[in-house]
A and B are shown apart, each in its own frame.
Chain A
Amino acid sequence: MMSTQGAYYIPHKATWPVAATIGLMTSLAGFANYLNGNAAGSTFMLVGLSIFIIMIGGWFTLQATESETGMYNKGVGISYRMAMMWFIFSEIMFFAVFFGTLWYTRNLSVDWLANIGDGPGRSSGMLWPSFEAVWPTNGPGHIGGEFEPMGAFGLPLLNTLILLTSGVTCTWAHHGLIEKNRGQLIKGLAMTVGLGFLFVAFQAIEYQEAYHEMGLTLGSGIYGSTFFMLTGFHGFHVCVGAIILTVVLFRSSKGHFTPENHFAFEAAAWYWHFVDVVWLGLFIFVYMM
């Protein structure tokens, strides 16, 4: 980890970062305008997103080309791996907020609303006399109306198996890459991507059922809020991970990556295992308990 800089690759001009900023800023400003009921908002959002997607394509193509032409030495690879590691750590902290919210409301604030526990946050009993602390709940105001909570067995269990299997196929692909067995690499990746999108499809069916048959929506009080925000952000991350893996699959089929130089594959695999572990947390704390 010491001196890696003798031939450390330092790029001299970067045009994509500014494009990224313009794209992100335009789409966020557009989204904000849309939320404020401004008709032009969604157009700006789409324009910004397009810039952002073009930027991602361009920047990643540049990186892939540089990598394949041998411009990165081991030191650059270490920097990339550190960056990916700490990026995943920041994502863990992001999910921790929502898991923490689930824990706090479920174990503390709902009890206090029902006049249980010893916190000064406890309501007077006069405020919500008929409210009882049970989970799931949509609060003393019955926000969002009657709903049926999501069960753990059925689609969620199936999805757990799908994601766990995809973790295995991903590792199998990695072994293929290290052992220079490109067939195994491509097969493994294709299976992982397929399972990833299957997961997303099942998740979409689950949401469909929740909204149309169970009365469970994002607006169903604190249960609906935590359920959809946790599973929604996770689903979004699965989508992103599956898209990254698709790109890696495409690059693998073009003959990219060697046993020594395959940072993109490793980063994608780490990310995939990360969304896998988050799902296990979700399955236990959101669906089962």
Chain B
Amino acid sequence: MSAVTAEHEHDDHHDHGPEKGLLRWVITTNHKDIGTLYLLFALAMFFVGGIMALVIRAELFEPGMQFVSPQFFNSMTTMHALVMVFGAVMPAFVGFANWQIPLMIGAPDMALPRMNNMSFWMLVGGVLLLASTLFMEGGAPASGWTLYPPLVLQTGAALPFAIFSVHMLGISSIMGAINIIATIFNMRAPKMTLMKMPLFVWTWLITAFLLIAIMPVFAGAVTMLLTDRFFDTSFFNAAGGGDPVLYQHIFWFFGHPEVYVMILPTFGVASTIIPVFARKPLFGYSSMVYATAAIAFLSFIVWAHHMFTVGMPMAGELYFMYATMLIAIPTGVKIFNWTATMWRGSMTFETPMLFSIAFVVLFTMGGFTGLMMSMAPIDFQYHDTYFIVAHFHYTLVPASVFILMAGGYFWLPKWTGNMYDEKLGKLHFWLSAVSVNILFFPQHFLGLAGMPRRIPDYAVQFADWNMVSSVGAFIFGFSQLLFLYIVIHTIKGGTGEKVSDEVWEDAHKHGLEWTLPSPVPYHTFATPPDKIPTEHF
């Protein structure tokens, strides 16, 4: 490129502000705009998925059939999961990645800004296709989010729409992941070597590898469902020499890394927030990096622990049991490091820190129930019960979702230049932290007592804890309206107090983003920063 063009581009870069009007949000290539789009979309889907969860909990409030038909109930469990996984949690973390990765590594934008815009709109397209199935003949898919054949092949008109929705969501995720990898490898400030990157950047780098490896696998699996239903193939039909269990293997080869796609960036945000409020460097930075990589590697070789009861050779049961137990080691390293980071720190308990501490405690609980289920003979009892539901909701709600909230409180002042209302934030935290346990803890008891998942009605012996759980669900659900209010209030001016550039005391030691003005200008790091923070060593 000639120097003249470079100069011209450079000038243009500074003059160029956001497009006027709504069109700005459609054609934007700015990583901050796209991050905002992702986050707002995820927040909206969080409420859509949440309403579906409340339908489920309302029906389960007491035994007997109350509000919805069994078919619709099963549609709700399926759609709740798909919307929350693909519409809320994943996009929210991609939103954080878009906002934060260029700021954290000192880059002017994402490496491939046009593709960045396309990943967002493909996500919207995919979710629209999925949502359209709710209004179709035969209802939305009701097979559970795993879409197991032969059950899923009985879906009505919705089936091809759900399958194509998965294709579009996959395209979106793969493009987003490619963009993140290219940005991290190619756009770092000169002094930002790999082992100096904030842990959030590291966890997303590894997550992006996971996404590129698994989304095509899921696409392949659902393509086979499509051809089995419409083009006479026999992939999952034993009469033709196929095998329905094959689908489960392929699905979980995707599905297990997929759950880590939702938890690894969670770890990254927690590792970013805890040191700031403990006023200490992160304990064991390099061990955190290696632990993340180890968890990602293990995620590819443990998938059949989801299938202990399906019928596998004994050697397979044993292998998947021991391999799964190994995951506890790098995860334990992480929990230990977070605790050690807080040890003897000058801690303060602002809302982001409260959510992060709750994450460490409650995620450990979700992790331990996972360890219990990794034992094949014990899993035979737990399989397909509410114990599983309690387990993975502990790893998703008071872990991923709590950390998303924490990240929101942590970075919103930086992004908007306005401070959120700390009192309301703390109220939101305590309401959420108490109600989430009322909601999910009793489900452990229900599962151990034998209550199966994905059923609209149950034996009367399960009535009491279901009622408690449903009460918790409604408190938790409505508490989130408070979060919505706080977010809108902060964007519109917050407490009126202007935040400093570093927002949190001494935050500039922890990350490049805190060296920028608040609110962050539309374009940042047009030239790479000279110095980078060294606190996290």
Instruction: Please report A residues at the B interface, Cβ cutoff 8 Å.
Output: 1-18, 20-22, 24-25, 28-29, 31-32, 35-36, 59, 69-73, 75, 78-80, 82-83, 86-87, 89-91, 93-94, 96-98, 100-101, 104-105, 108-110, 112-113, 118-121, 123, 137-141, 143-144, 217-219, 221-226, 228-229
A98, B16: Cα distance in complex, Å: 48
Q: Pick from B62-70, B218-226, B415-423, B438-446 the stretch touching chain A.
A: B218-226
A69 contacts across to B, CB distance below 8 A: 5
Write out the residue numbers on chain B whose beta carbons fall within 8 Å of the beta carbon of A221: 234, 240-242
Q: Which of B174, B212, B249, B311 contacts A104 (CB 8 A)?
A: B249
- Asked if A141 and B129 make an inter-chain contact with CB atoms under 8 angstroms apart, the answer reads no
Task: Kindly state whether residue B213 has any CB partner on chain A within 8 Å.
Answer: yes
B174, B185, B242: the one contacting A225 at CB < 8 Å is B242
Q: Is the CB of A18 within 8 A of B121?
A: yes
Residue picked from A10, A25, A96, A228, most chain B C-beta under 10 Å:
A10
Q: In the complex, which residues of chain B have a beta carbon less than 8 angstroms from the beta carbon of A12?
A: 16, 29-30
Contact with A along B216-251 (1 / 0, CB 8 A): 110111011011001111110111111101100110
User: What would be 7 A-B contacts, judged by CB atoms less than 8 Å apart?
Assistant: A21-B121, A73-B6, A83-B115, A109-B241, A119-B311, A120-B312, A229-B233
A116 to B227, CA, bound (A): 28
Q: Which residues of B contact A119 (CB under 8 A)?
A: 311-313
Cα–Cα distance between A70 and B242 once the two chains are bound (Å): 54
Query: B1: which A residues are within 8 A, CB to CB?
Result: 7, 9, 70-73
Residue from A1, A8, A14, A137 in contact with B114 in the complex, judged by beta carbons closer than 8 Å: A14
Please, which residues of chain B bring their CB within 8 A of the CB of A217? 232
B contact residues around A143 at 8 Å (CB): 232, 234, 237, 239-241
Distance to closest chain B CB from A155 (angstroms): 23
Known A18-B121, A32-B164, A105-B246: A5·B312 in contact at CB below 8 Å: no
> Which chain B residues border A31 with CB–CB below 8 Å?
160, 164
Report the separation of the CA atoms of residues A20 and B122 in the bound assembly, to the nearest whole angstrom: 8
Given contacts A139-B241, A221-B240, contact A6 B233 (CB under 8 A): no
CB atoms of B117 and A17 under 8 A apart = yes
B313 A225 Cβ-Cβ under 8 A: no
For B, the interface residue count at a CB cutoff of 8 angstroms equals 89
In-complex Cβ contact of A29 among B19, B164, B250 (8 A): B164
Report the bound CA distance from A80 to B164 in whole Å. 27
Residue B494 at the chain A interface, CB threshold 8 Å = no
> Does B516 touch A at the CB level, under 8 Å?
no
Closest residue of B by beta carbon distance from A84: B178
Determine whether the beta carbon of A70 is less than 8 Å from that of B109: no
The answer to whether A11 touches B114 (Cβ under 8 A) is yes
Residue pair B164, A101 in contact (C-beta under 8 Å): no
Residues of chain B from 268 to 325 with CB closer than 8 A to chain A in the complex: 311-314
List of B residues within 8 angstroms of A10 by Cβ: 13, 29, 108-109, 113
- Are A225 and B235 interface neighbours, CB within 8 A? yes
Binds A, one of B51-59, B186-194, B391-399: B186-194
Candidates B16, B19, B182, B240; contact of A144 at CB < 8 Å = B240
B183, B233, B527 interface centre (most CB from chain A within 10 Å): B233
For B80-114 the 0/1 string (1 means CB < 8 A from A) is 00000000000000000000000000011101111
- One of A9, A14, A218 near B227 (C-beta < 8 A): A218
A-B CB proximity, top 3 nearest? A141-B239, A97-B220, A139-B241
Q: A32-B161, A73-B1, A121-B243 are in contact. Are A93 and B118 (CB under 8 A)?
A: no
Residues of A within 8 A of B488 (CB): none
Minimum CB–CB distance for A87 against chain B, Å: 6
Q: Which of B118, B223, B224, B250 sits near A17, CB closer than 8 Å?
A: B118
Cross-chain contact B216 with A97 (CB below 8 angstroms) = yes
Q: Give the docked Cα–Cα distance between A20 and B220 (Å).
A: 22
Knowing A105-B246, A120-B312, A222-B235, the reply to whether A110 touches B241 (Cβ < 8 A) is yes
Contacts of A3 in B (CB 8 A): 188-190, 528
Interface SS of B by simple majority = helix
B179 CB, nearest partner CB in chain A, Å: 8
Q: Is the CB of A14 within 8 A of B29?
A: yes
A70 and B13: CB pair below 8 A? no
Nearest chain A residue, comparing its CB with the CB of B242: A222
The answer to whether A224 and B233 touch across the interface, beta carbons within 8 angstroms, is: yes
- Extra pairs beyond A3-B528, A83-B112 (5, CB < 8 Å): A6-B527, A7-B6, A12-B16, A73-B1, A121-B311
Q: Distance in Å from the Cβ of A175 to the closest Cβ of chain B?
A: 25
CA gap between A26 and B179 in the complex, in Å: 25
When distances are taken between beta carbons in the complex, the residues of chain A under 8 Å from B243 are 104-105, 108-109, 112, 121
Q: How far is the CB of B419 from chain A (nearest CB, A)?
A: 31
Tell me the complex Cα distance, A14–B117, Å. 8
Nearest CB in chain B: distance from A271 CB, A = 15
B486 at the interface (CB under 8 A from A): no
Q: Bound state CA distance, A119 and B312, in angstroms? A: 6
Task: Report the separation of the CA atoms of residues A83 and B13 in the bound assembly, to the nearest whole angstrom.
Answer: 24
A2:B190 contact, CB within 8 angstroms: yes
Question: A14-B113, A97-B221, A101-B235 are contacts. A90–B240 as well, Cβ < 8 Å?
Answer: no
**Given the complex of chains A and B, what is the CA–CA distance between A217 and B234 in angstroms?**
11
The residue that B239 contacts in the complex, of A7, A83, A139, with Cβ under 8 A, is: A139
For residue B157, CB closer than 8 A to chain A, the reply is yes
CA–CA, A101 and B251, complex, Å: 12
Q: Are A219 and B108 in contact (CB under 8 A)?
A: no
In the bound assembly, the distance between CA atoms of A228 and B223 in angstroms comes to 13
Contact of B241 among A5, A80, A91, A137 (CB under 8 A): A137
The closest CB in chain A to the CB of B526 belongs to A5
> Beyond A14-B27, A25-B128, A140-B241, is A218–B187 a contact (Cβ under 8 Å)?
no
Contact A24 B122 (CB under 8 A): yes
Among B125, B163, B189, B314, contact of A21 (Cβ-Cβ < 8 Å)? B125
Nearest chain A residue, comparing its CB with the CB of B123: A21
Q: Do B29 and A11 touch (CB < 8 A)?
A: yes
Checking A28, A78, A86 against B167 with a beta-carbon cut-off of 8 angstroms, the contacting residue is: A28
CA distance A110 to B249 in the complex (A): 16
Other-chain contact of A100, B168, B250, B525, B528 (Cβ < 8 Å): B250
Nearest B residue to A4, CB-CB: B186
A25, B181: Cβ atoms under 8 Å? Answer: no
Query: Which of B16, B182, B231, B239 interacts with A218 by CB under 8 Å?
Result: B231
Which of the residues A13, A28, A82, A229 comes within 8 Å of B27, measured between beta carbons? A13
Judge if B48 is at the interface, Cβ distance under 8 Å: no
In whole Å, how far is A4's beta carbon from the nearest beta carbon of chain B?
6
B215 at the A interface (CB under 8 A): yes
Q: In the assembled complex, which residues on chain A have CB atoms less than 8 Å from the CB atom of B507?
A: none
Output the nearest chain A residue to B3 by Cβ-Cβ distance.
Answer: A7
Q: CB < 8 Å: which of B13, B16, B164, B223 contacts A28?
A: B164
| Most central of A7, A13, A17, A20 by chain B CB within 10 Å | A17
Least CB distance from B256 to A in Å reads 15
Complex: chain A residue closest to B174, CB-CB: A90
- Shortest C-beta distance, B129 to chain A (Å), equals 7
